[in-house]
Structure 1
Amino acid sequence: MRVTIHQPEHLPWLGLLAKVAASDLWIVLDSVPYRKNYFQNRNRVLLAGQETWLTVPVNAPFGTLIREVRVADTPHWRRRYRGRLAQAVSGTPGANRLEPLLAAIDDASPGSLLADLNLKLADWLLSQFDVKVPQMRASELAATGSKSDLILSLCKAAGADEYIAGPSGRDYLDLTAFADHDIAVRFFDFDHPTYPQGGRFVPCLSAVDAWSRLAPAELPALLSGYRLGAN
């Protein structure tokens, strides 16, 4: 079984959707500390041609695990978020199909779990790109260790015989340890596609950007441009 492991990003980009699509199982890495000012509670869209952040305010003291991070009771954040998202897709084919995303944001009440919101949004996006891959949360598996040891432990707990790693895995994975447990490691490199944005193309946005601009039948092909290498 081919497994990939990745944190639950907020409104993930095309590269994460493609990595999940290339796997048989996505282990959602929710058992490690939350990373501030990254992509766990925010992502970018284009608003009037400019990269703009959509951000969910959170309560996450230093060392809080991702699975424990909760949405903060910040006044009017949903209104700002909804307004920016609606403006970002205004005039695109997806503008009249936005309600499921807006409803998910409305349901993110103060104290609710960020990971639950992120996975709800990720599941919706994956379905729009016709990706049907099961997932498990790392917190549900009996895994120990950190960095390479944790990844190996998760793979063993899930019964993996192949692990799809991101490019940064080349810097820290102990490939010998994986080989000792008969788990092949392949590195995922994503070639970002281009599509019409109405101006200078900006890559690595939330996949909502591509979803809003293209017809549903055009979306799955955007995830096919990747390479799987052994080193």
Structure 2
Amino acid sequence: MRVTIHQPEHLPWLGLLAKVAACDLWIVLDSVPYRKNYVQNRNLVLLNGRPTWLTVPVSAPLGTPIHEVRIYEVPHWRRRYRGRLTQALADTPGAKRIGPVLELLDATPVGGRLADLNLGLAGWLLGQFGVTVPRVRASALRVPGTRSERLVNLCREVGADEYLSGPGGREYLDPAAFAEQGISLKFFDFDHPAYDQGDASFVPRLSAVDAWARLEPPELPPLLSHYRLSP
């Protein structure tokens, strides 16, 4: 069984969807500390031809595990978020189909958990791209360890024999730790495909909601096949 272990990004980009789609299980790494100014509470959309952040305000003291991070109810943040997203997609075919995203946002309770919102949005996006890979939260598995040790223990806990890492893992993972437990370690490199974004020059690494809004449903799954695996 091949697994990937990745934090719950907010409105994730195509690369994360593709990595999950290439696996049999997604272990949601929500047990590590929240990372400020990353993509855990925000992501990029194309607004007036420019990459623009969609941001969920949070309350996260230093060291707070991701699964404990709460949404901070800054006045009118939901209205601003809805307005910016709606404006970003206004001239796309998906403009009239954005209701489920707004419903997930509205259904998130005041002071709710960021990870719950992120996984709701990720699950919806994965479904739009035809991906049905199951997931489990690392916080529910409660395995010990740090870095490679933690990842190896998570793989063992779910019975995985292959771990698919992002390219950044080449810098810090210990291949021997995986080999000692009979777990094959592979790296996933995503070659971002270009698609029609209108008159502007193509901007990669936006939230996958951009591609979803601009393309027809049959055009979405092939976008996730642009990757390479290597030892």
TM range (shorter): over 0.9
Q: Secondary structure at the match of 2:63?
A: coil
Aligned equivalents of 2:142 and 2:43: distance in 1?
31
Deviations 1:4-50 (A, max 9, x none): 00000000000000000000000000000000010000000000101
- Provide Cα deviations, 1:128-155, integer angstroms capped at 9, x if missing partner: 0000100000011141111111111111
Give the secondary-structure state (helix, strand or coil) at the position aligned to 1:104.
helix
Query: How far does residue 106 in structure 1 lie from its aligned partner after superposition?
Result: 1.2
| 1:50-129 pair list within 5 angstroms | 50-129=50-129
Q: How many residues align?
A: 230
1:207 and 2:208 are equivalent in the alignment: yes
SS in 2 for 1:116: helix
Match of 1:67, SS state, is helix
SS at match of 2:187: strand
**TM-score normalised by structure 1 residue count:** 0.98
CA distance in 1 between partners of 2:166 and 2:151 (Å): 12
Q: Is the 8 A contact 1:82 1:102 kept in 2?
A: yes
What secondary structure does 2:179 align onto?
A: helix
Identity of aligned residues (%): 67
Q: Residue 186 of structure 1 aligns with which residue?
A: 186
* Alpha-carbon separation, structure 2, partners of 1:106 and 1:52: 21
- 4+ aligned runs moved over 2 Å, structure 1: none
**Larger CA deviation: 139-148 vs 159-168:** 139-148
Q: Is the CA contact (8 Å cut-off) linking 1:71 and 1:108 kept in structure 2?
A: no
Give the match for residue 11 of structure 1: 11
**Secondary structure in 1 aligned to 2:126?**
helix
Give TM-score, length-normalised by structure 2. Answer: 0.98
Q: Which moved more, 1:121-130 or 1:164-173?
A: 164-173
The 10-residue stretch of structure 1 (57-66 or 141-150) with the greater mean CA deviation from structure 2 = 141-150
How far the C-alpha of 1:109 sits from its partner, in A, is: 2.8
Using the TM superposition, give the Cα deviation of residue 174 of structure 1 relative to its aligned residue in structure 2, in angstroms: 1.0
**Alignment partners' CA distance in 2, 1:69 and 1:98:** 26
Residue in structure 1 matched with residue 32 of structure 2 by the alignment = 32
Please, what is the CA RMSD of the aligned residues? 0.6
In structure 2, the residue matched to 1:220 is 221
Contact 1:70 1:110 in 2 (8 A): no
**Structure 1 CA distance for aligned equivalents of residues 94 and 73 of structure 2:** 30
**Other-structure match for 1:170:** 170
Cα distance in 2 for partners of 1:19, 1:132 equals 13
Alpha-carbon distance in 2 for matches of 1:93, 1:11: 19
- Counterparts of 1:184 and 1:144, CA distance in 2: 20
State the SS of the aligned residue for 1:46.
strand
Q: What amino acid is aligned across from residue 162 of structure 2 in structure 1?
A: E
User: How far apart are the structure 1 equivalents of 2:193 and 2:184?
Assistant: 28
8 Å CA contact retained: 1:2, 1:24: yes
TM superposition shift of 1:3: 0.4
Q: C-alpha deviations, 1:50-82, integer Å up to 9, x for none?
A: 111000000101110000000112100001000
Bigger mean CA offset, 24-33 vs 102-111: 102-111
Task: Using the TM superposition, give the Cα deviation of residue 105 of structure 1 relative to its aligned residue in structure 2, in angstroms.
Answer: 1.1
How far is the alpha carbon of 1:110 from its aligned partner?
2.2
Q: Distance in 2 between matches of 1:138 and 1:122?
A: 16
C-alpha displacement at 1:85, in angstroms?
0.4
User: In structure 2, how many angstroms separate the alpha carbons of the residues matched to 1:21 and 1:206?
Assistant: 16
